[in-house]
Amino acid sequence: MNVLLIGSGGREHALADQIDRSPLLSKLYAAPGNPGIASLAECVDLDATDHNAVINFAKDHDINLVVIGPEAPLVAGLADDLSDAGIAVFGPSGAAAQLEGSKDFARAFCARHNIPQPKFASFETVDAARAHLTTHYPDGYVVIKADGLAAGKGVVVSDDMDQAMEAITMMLEDNRFGDAGARVVIEDRIEGTEASLFAMVDGENAIMIGSAQDHKRAYDNDEGPNTGGMGAVSPAPALSDALCQDAWDNIVLPVVRGMAAEGMPYRGFLYTGLMLTKTGPQVIEFNCRFGDPEAETILPRLKSDLLSAMATAVEGGLGHTDLRFHDGAAVTVVMVNGGYPGAYDKGGVINGLMPEDGDAHDSTDPTIVYHAGTAEKDGAIIATGGRVLAVTGMGADQATARQAAYDRVARISWPNVFYRKDIAKG
């Protein structure tokens, strides 16, 4: 198979590594890719927002499967246009991707299908949102979300009314997130432990591809602003077999059935963000793609052929498929440019990278370094993104995996590097 992978982050590096392992693979292209992916694929200068350019490239290079990594092209309907052009694609339609593309859509969908979630209300005007806050959340203890895509930064978990009002102003009045914040969703702030459950879906059937716990806050002890993710551990320590089955039966499968019943069958990776409350798992959010950095944490443990599974999903055959994983645990530490998720300097030369980084084929090395926001300049690898590298350690248990990850992190440096010191601690 000739495969085109869309994306340039750590998630796509992890996907590329898995696809590269498959005996089905003939040629892997990545658009645009990154210096880490370049060791596994031919990186091509292709703009994913230009759907015709992607279609023409796929036709000209006899692409058998397009794998779309990030959310924005999915929400924009790239999978639809590829399918309409007769090109096989792994990723949900634009309609199905509304599960991530619109928080309001996702909440209303869950309400229609009796899927457990917090109480919510949506607003497009500042006055209406403020009135709702004053009436229903006088202590300001609430969650406020931008309706659309905001790169993991459009959520404010508020502790008081000043903070809640500031979030409303930032989104609806100051237009901080543009069109993504033109509507806000105000939700009950539910209590519990967060975990993520991942599935592959073929429109009718779903199979589990792992669980993880992500660390969203920028600083140790879960303090500071939300980020796209500062690290993760898999399997999710808090997600017992019983809780996992509960979430699968009462959330994941009803989503798959509900999307099919509403005429927008879901095909692709489905990420379900859970809050494990005293009354059972509830939905925090959905993503219409693999999580990041969860992909870098879950995929290194995968024994099965991911490319074969994705091709099977496109054909609707997951009802006869399962996935197998290595025993033990994986822990990922994300290394970022200092200042992230706010303003940060970029362009520092990264020291300590090795030629074998990113190669999970080397079973003697318990670590993998995935490129997330890097570029090559004058023969050196430089830090260009907010999140720069995702360093994954594997081991027989969480503690061993964590030690491996941090030992590898300690050997990598660049000016203004920052990372949390407490990922998967305890």
Name the one residue in this structure whose structure tokens are 């100051």: 174
What's the CA gap between 329 and 298, in Å, rounded?
Answer: 9
Residue range(s) in the chain whose domain bears CATH number 3.90.600.10: 329-418
* Alpha carbon of residue 11 to chain centroid: 7
pLDDT of residue 113: 98
Residue range 229-233: average pLDDT? 96
Of the listed ranges 107-111, 114-118, 422-426, the one predicted with least confidence: 422-426
Per residue in 311-337, pLDDT (tens digit) is: 999 999 999 888 999 999 999 999 999
CATH number belonging to domain 193-320:
3.30.470.20
| Residue 52 identity (one-letter amino acid) | N
Residue range(s) in the chain whose domain bears CATH number 3.30.1490.20: 119-187
What's the CA gap between 134 and 288, in Å, rounded?
Answer: 33
Relative to beta strand 89-90, strand 374-377 is: unpaired
Distances (CA, A) of 258 to 247, 265, 347: 15, 8, 46
What is the per-residue burial (b if ≥16 Cβ within 10 Å, else e) of 326-359? eebbbbbbbbbbeebbeebebebebeebeeebbb
Residue range(s) in the chain whose domain bears CATH number 3.40.50.20: 2-94
What's the CA gap between 157 and 148, in Å, rounded?
Answer: 17
| Residue 149 identity (one-letter amino acid) | L
Residue range(s) in the chain whose domain bears CATH number 3.30.470.20: 193-320
Q: Which two tokens stand for residue 289?
A: 């793609």
Name the one residue in this structure whose structure tokens are 């551990």: 233
Task: Tell me the CATH architecture of domain 329-418.
Answer: Alpha-Beta Complex (3.90)
Q: Evaluate whether 238 touches 280 at the Cβ level (below 8 Å).
A: no
Q: Nearest 5 degrees, angle CA 396-CA 199-CA 75?
A: 130
Residue range 129-147: average pLDDT? 95
Task: Tell me the CATH architecture of domain 119-187.
Answer: 2-Layer Sandwich (3.30)
Per residue in 234-246, pLDDT (tens digit) is: 999 999 999 999 9
pLDDT band at 356 (very low <50, low <70, confident <90, very high): low
| Residue 178 identity (one-letter amino acid) | G
Give the strands of the sheet with 374-377, arranged side by side: 348-349, 380-383, 374-377
Q: What is the dihedral of CA 124, 130, 132, 134, to 10 degrees?
A: 170
Q: Is the pLDDT of residue 362 over 70?
A: no
What's the CA gap between 222 and 164, in Å, rounded?
Answer: 19
Name the one residue in this structure whose structure tokens are 């950095």: 293
**Beta carbons within 10 angstroms of residue 84's beta carbon:** 11
What's the CA gap between 216 and 171, in Å, rounded?
Answer: 20
What's the CA gap between 268 and 172, in Å, rounded?
Answer: 32
Q: What is the DSSP letter of 125?
A: S
Per residue in 3-27, pLDDT (tens digit) is: 999 999 999 999 999 999 999 999 9
What's the CA gap between 107 and 285, in Å, rounded?
Answer: 9
Q: Which two tokens stand for residue 272?
A: 């379900």
What's the CA gap between 284 and 143, in Å, rounded?
Answer: 10
CATH number belonging to domain 2-94:
3.40.50.20
Q: Is 174 helix (H, G, I), strand (E, B) or coil?
A: coil
What's the CA gap between 239 and 214, in Å, rounded?
Answer: 13
